[in-house]
Structures are given as structure tokens and as C-alpha cells.
Structure 1
């Protein structure tokens, strides 16, 4: 808008322009953090020829060479013939075989590229979901760190922050409760940021791990496109093309790995998150995602045997292990209580060990995190519940690191949000309490008489 007759911007627009430039700078800085973390992942790309000597990989590559028909994998079981429908991730192996032959470095580069794309897809998703550069950069960095062969010990640093927050009570004894709360949040943030599985050996340097990483790239892309659609609806800038992109990426994710069947549940959580912000989400899109997964399930029954394969029979499980795995996402302290509860039955002598105090700290930190999640549901509760939903179908399988790949990506939003909440609580704990102003008489002395 120009001032009439002068051609200069109206003064009221100047702060808005500065705000826009400042926001752009923040986003550029946050994206640079994610890119630098990805660069470190790239520098540790596996190159050993032993990558191809893994038993599953060797059988898979032999099957590809024998059939020599890439598109045929859309019509049935994937190369290992263990009753999985994974044509898209199989094509990634076909592409590597065509490009690199039996060169392990080429296959390792593809696995590395998928890990990098997963980190960047997580950045995009959190950008669309929260519009927060700090959360996007923080979650992406924490997720990337779990790919490092030697991860940065963020957990130790956050534990140190917990100790500092606990000692804040020395400075401000009147803020005892807030100091304890901040310290417990730091403890829970440290445990959450450390993740449940390392991903260098379990995903990046293990070629079949690309089934999970490729699925994560496409599914996070699908979630990002839907979140962008919802975020822009209020401004009238939303386009139906984002929904088409979301559904297309969802199909690709389903063609990579069966864990993608959680897509409708995750879309529903995104819809609830925008509903909590006072917006009216497009629920028919969630219904469409359910229909899409239903159609995939029907197609799968036509192309893949319904009876469990030998591998599936070996991997499926029931019993306490399922509950333990679910507790790892639902209430991590529950795992510690489950494992340590029997030791507590030994009697009073246990009081001379660190076990009961460690369990108490674990439970208290989880409860503090739960309280924070209830006060910040659009970030903390979302990351907490979304990671659990993403892991649900894998709980009934014996654990592998790549089962945790997508759930951990989503859980890093919880970790980043906990760090932000803990930092805020710490700042309050070390601040002097505001002294309320004394009541002034009405009218105040010396004031003009009222008419």
C-alpha cells in the first residue's frame, strides 16, 4: 500500500515488513541447522562391501537378478517371498542394482540419502504443523543425531540442565515447586531425546532398513501436505492439490512398508490438533485416508498369501513383551516399574540401592511430562500420542530398530517441546516473584475531581 501522491510505504506497514524479514531469517537459520545435521549423516555414509553380505540382502539381490523384471513386483510378494507387499521399496533396490551393480558404496549412499530425506521431511512436517522454527530445527537435529555412529550426548547435557534447575531453589527458595517441576521436565526431555533405538546400524548401514526409511519419507510428506492444507484453509490460500499430493505420497508409503497403515490415525491426530486451535478440520479427508488404506488392504489380500510365512510366524509375538514395547511410548516409566518391581519385593535392603530412587525419579519425570503435555496439547500431547500410534502395529513383532524409525521421528517433536517447556519453567524458577502493586484509593489522592 502506498501513501497517496508520495509513492512511499505507509508507516504502519514498516513493522509488518520487518516482522516478515525477521521470520524469514529465523526459518533460514533453523533450516540451516537441519541441513548441517544432514551433512554429518552424509559424511558417515557406509561404503563397505559387507553391506551386500547380509543374508536378507543377498537373497533379495539374487531374486532381483533372476527375475529381471522391476514392475512385476507390483503384482505379488516381494523378493524375500515372506508375504509382504513392498513394490516401491523393492524398486529402490532395483535402481541401485542397475546403477551400481554389486558396489556396496552405492547401496549405502541410497540408504544415507533416504535417512537425510527423512530428517528434512520431519522438518517440513513440523513447519506445517506448528509454524515454529525452533521446534522444527530442534526436532530435526535430535532425530538426525540418532543416525550418527557416535551420537552427540544430548541426554547428558539435558541431565546437567536438570541438576542446574534443581539448584535454582538455592537462589529462589520461594520457587521450590517450579524448580522441582523444571528439573523433572529436563529429566524426561533427556530420556526422550535419547530415543529408543540407534539408527546408524539398524537403518542407515543395514540395507533392508530402507523399507522403513523410504516409508517415513513418503508418509511424513503426506502428513506435511495435509497439515499445510489445513493450515492455509483459514487464509483461503489452501489448494486441493495438497490433498492429492498427500494421498499420492500415502500410496507410495504403503508400497514401501506395511507400517504406513497408521496414516489415517496420524491424519486424524493432525485434524484434532487444528481443532484444538479453534479451526474446523476437513474430516472427510481423514475418511478418505481410511478408505485408501482399506483399498490397499483388499488389494494386498489379492496379491499376497493370507497365511503367515515362516518369517512372520517367527516374528509375531504376544504376551508381556507387547505391553512392554507399548509402555515405551505410552508411559516409559512403566517399563522401569515393570522390570524393577520384582526387585522391590526383596524388602528393606533395596532401600540401600539406587533402584527405588531411580524408579521414583523416572515416574515423577513422566508425570511432569504428562502435566506439561496437558497444558500444551497441540505440541507435546501430539508428539506423545502420534509416536504411540505410529508404533502400534509393530508392537506385536519382535523388536528391530527400524520399527522405531517413524515413531521416533514423531517423538522428537515431543522431545523438542519438552526442552522448550523445561527452559521456560527454569526461567520462571530463577526469576524473582512479581510483587503485586498496592491497592490505590479511589479516587487517588491529588486526582482531579470527577464530574
Structure 2
């Protein structure tokens, strides 16, 4: 996609590969194995960093780059850049197919919006856009909708004007329709603005800075790219009742799990999808679920049989020592107002602090605006429910580890879909002249 061209300077970044210790260890492992000639060792044992993970596809990918480019940094980063493009392209097809299942009225536009938003996040452009206030984007979107679609002054807002200036009065030959309830109209407008606010706020806060430059992020890039395309082929196979597409989805899922462990969470996601569409898909939905379940069992069996089952020192260091922090971070990631509980717990009954504390008012307004998110969720629960399940399940195991930005890459598809639907719903409500 054209937006990815803005990330090309990262491909040509002058930082040497060996400036990063993990990358240096990986390059040494490939060199000592003889490049691709020794690639089989990673299919029957630990991967390049030898820290207790079964990632033969990621190891093979790094070895292939080493064979093609030597230690030229731009070659490794070019591969990461291309994987981003393939992921955004796969997101377009997957979101479009899923939106059609959920009977969303504009699946093509929604898929395009998600692909563009994901591209902005991948390339880090949202960091530049995020320098402006969220309210700036809400205002621009509202004004654009007004000018683009000729938004008129709502009827209830015209009350009190001189009769000659009012445009909402019926002519003598027209049948007067009941006047809408002004309070209800303002409430609906508030919900629309709330959905716009949270959609822009969540979407613009996400950006990635090391996915291209940092070579070890290849694991998440490969795992996510293969996962997105795997679910697309599985969904298409179940919908069209074609075993070939299911088989292709299984192959892509095998490649995803051979690249990274996080895609294992797609098994319950596909299971939930099969249950949701059980009447339309029948046995084909359960065939799709069986495909990913069998692949998951296969990779897990290989992992247990080829590598020690005792956690390595690195794996132990990655685990966070307390459950309170991970659970709080997890809930805040899914439901942002949940992160306010510490603030309100510290305030207690001393609400007079709101007279001087801007953060308190920001929290209060944000929580009230979140009602718009709930309204959008209710109106689009089939679509947003799936987005939330993807986000919640794929992020769940990573919430208990010390944070790295590539942990969020696979969950990002669900989160971005959720945010784009919020923006679209809010814009549609304003466009339909609510109130």
C-alpha cells in the first residue's frame, strides 16, 4: 500500500544489525549452522536464540535473509516491511469477509478503513497524527460530515427562531410529523460524539517504532501475517463449503504457529466463529475448527517432544511477578475507563478535588463518553463482538509478560476493527441528522 512508502526510511536506517545483541546472536547461529544448509536443525529443536521456543519458520526466514543479503541490514528490514504490507492486504480481505457475515452495510469501505488505519499504525504515522488532541479529529470529522452531506440544523435546535427563518415548519398542504423529543436527540448526538472520541483516541494512541528496524520482531510479523490469511481461508472455506480452502487455511496456520506461539489463541476464536455460524455452515464450521485444533495439537506435540518442558531462565524472567498489574493492564487495554479505578480510589469521597484537578474532569468526561462505545457495540454487536474476542484472546497470554511492542501486533487487528467501526458508527449517526 502507498502508505507503507513512508516507512521506507526505516528500511534504509543506518544502524548496523549487530548493534542489537539479540540480532547478533541470531546471525551467529545462522552462520554457525552454515546458513540454509543447516536449517533442518531448527525444525527438530530450539530456534536461533535457544531460549526454549519452537520457531522453525522464523529461524528459516532469518537464515534465508542471511543467505540473500549477508549482513546488509536493509535486506532484513525490507523483509519486515514486505510482511507488513501482506498483513494489511490480508486484513482487508479478512475484514471484508467477516463484515459480510455480520451483514454490515458497507463491507468494502469498512475493510478499506481498517487496512488504512492498520497501515498508519504499522508505519508509525499515528505517532505524528497523535500529536494533536483527539477532540481536534472529532471536530474535523464532524465538520467534514456536515459540509459533505449538507447537514442541516436539527428541528429542535430551530425552536425559538422567528417563524420566517424556520425551515422545519410544514406547509399548509403537508402533513405535520410528530416533533422529535429534543432530549432524546441530544442524547443520541452525545453517544455519536462519544463513539467518535473513543474511536479516534484508541486508534491514534497505537503506533509501532521497531517492527521494521528490530530484526527479532520477525516472529510476530510472520505469525500475524500467516494468522490473518489463515483465518481468511478458513472462513472462506466454511462459507463456500470447499475443503481446498480449509486445507490452505490449515497450512497457513501451521506456518503461523511455526513462527510464533501467540497464534495458538486462534483456536478458540475459530471455535467461537463456528458456533456463531453453526446454522449457516453446519459441519463445515466444525471442520474449520477441527483443522486449527489439529494443527495446534501437532505443533504442541512437536514442542513438547523436541524441547525441554521445564521453563528456561529467559522464559521465567519474562513472566511478571504479580497478577494485579497484568490484570489491570489487560482490562484497561480492552475497556480504557477501567484504568481510572486507581485514580478514583485515591480520591475517595473528596470530590472537591475536582475543582482544581483537570485529570479528574478528563476521567469523568471520558467515562461518560464511553456510553457512546456501549451504544455502538449494541447496534453492531455481531461485528464488534468478534473484534473484541480477537483482541481479548490474542492479547491475554501476553498481558502476563513484560511488555514488548510486537506483543500487540496480532491483537491489533481486532482493536483496529473495533475502533474503525466506532468512528463509522458515530459518523453515520451524525450524518443521518441526529438529533
User: What stretches of structure 2 of length at least 5 have no aligned partner?
Assistant: 101-106, 158-181
Are residue 105 (structure 1) and residue 105 (structure 2) matched?
A: no
In structure 1, distance between residues paired with 2:217 and 2:75: 15
Find 1:407's aligned residue among 408, 411, 416. 411
> Structure 1's 116 and 204: CA in aligned 2 closer, same or farther, altered over 3 A?
same
Relative contact order: is structure 1 or structure 2 higher (C-alpha 8 Å, sep ≥ 6)?
2
User: What stretches of structure 1 of length at least 5 have no aligned partner?
Assistant: 1-34, 233-237, 432-451
Equivalent residue number for residue 192 of structure 1:
202
| Counterpart mapping for 1:194-343 below 5 A | 194-196=204-206, 198-201=207-210, 203-232=211-240, 238-272=241-275, 274=277, 280=282, 282-317=285-320, 318-335=322-339, 337-343=340-346
Equivalent residue number for residue 33 of structure 2:
67
| Counterpart mapping for 1:386-425 below 5 A | 386-425=390-429
Structure 1 length as normaliser, TM-score?
Answer: 0.79
| SS state at 2:238 partner | helix
Q: CA deviation at 1:355?
A: 2.2
Aligned partners of 2:10 and 2:212 also within 8 Å? no
> Structure 1's 388 and 169: CA in aligned 2 closer, same or farther, altered over 3 A?
farther
Q: CA deviation at 1:125?
A: 1.0
Structure 2 length as normaliser, TM-score?
Answer: 0.82
Deviations 1:384-409 (A, max 9, x none): 22111111111111111000001012
> Structure 1's 122 and 42: CA in aligned 2 closer, same or farther, altered over 3 A?
farther
In structure 1, distance between residues paired with 2:286 and 2:380: 23
Equivalent residue number for residue 117 of structure 2:
142
In structure 1, distance between residues paired with 2:89 and 2:236: 16
Between 1:82-91 and 1:44-53, the stretch displaced more is 44-53
| SS state at 1:200 partner | coil
> Structure 1's 153 and 308: CA in aligned 2 closer, same or farther, altered over 3 A?
same
In structure 1, distance between residues paired with 2:112 and 2:361: 34
RMSD of aligned C-alpha atoms? 2.5
In structure 2, distance between residues paired with 1:97 and 1:346: 62
Deviations 1:23-75 (A, max 9, x none): xxxxxxxxxxxx22233334642432434321110111111111221121001
In structure 2, distance between residues paired with 1:363 and 1:275: 37
Q: CA deviation at 1:157?
A: 4.9
| SS state at 1:204 partner | coil
Aligned partners of 1:77 and 1:86 also within 8 Å? yes
In structure 1, distance between residues paired with 2:205 and 2:255: 27
Aligned partners of 1:212 and 1:406 also within 8 Å? yes
Are residue 153 (structure 1) and residue 129 (structure 2) matched?
A: yes
In structure 1, distance between residues paired with 2:368 and 2:249: 39
Aligned partners of 1:329 and 1:384 also within 8 Å? no
In structure 1, distance between residues paired with 2:364 and 2:142: 16
Equivalent residue number for residue 382 of structure 1:
386
> Structure 1's 164 and 125: CA in aligned 2 closer, same or farther, altered over 3 A?
same
Q: CA deviation at 1:346?
A: 7.7
Q: Which runs of 4+ in 1 moved over 4 A?
A: 154-157, 161-165, 167-173, 278-281
How many corresponding residue pairs?
387
Q: CA deviation at 1:272?
A: 4.6
| Counterpart mapping for 1:116-127 below 5 A | 116-127=85-96
Find 2:361's aligned residue among 354, 357, 362. 357
Q: CA deviation at 1:382?
A: 1.4
> Structure 1's 382 and 187: CA in aligned 2 closer, same or farther, altered over 3 A?
same
Equivalent residue number for residue 435 of structure 1:
none
In structure 2, distance between residues paired with 1:216 and 1:266: 14
Aligned partners of 2:329 and 2:399 also within 8 Å? yes
Aligned partners of 1:330 and 1:385 also within 8 Å? no
Q: CA deviation at 1:179?
A: 1.0
In structure 1, distance between residues paired with 2:44 and 2:293: 23
Deviations 1:76-104 (A, max 9, x none): 11121110111101111101111111111
In structure 1, distance between residues paired with 2:349 and 2:26: 51
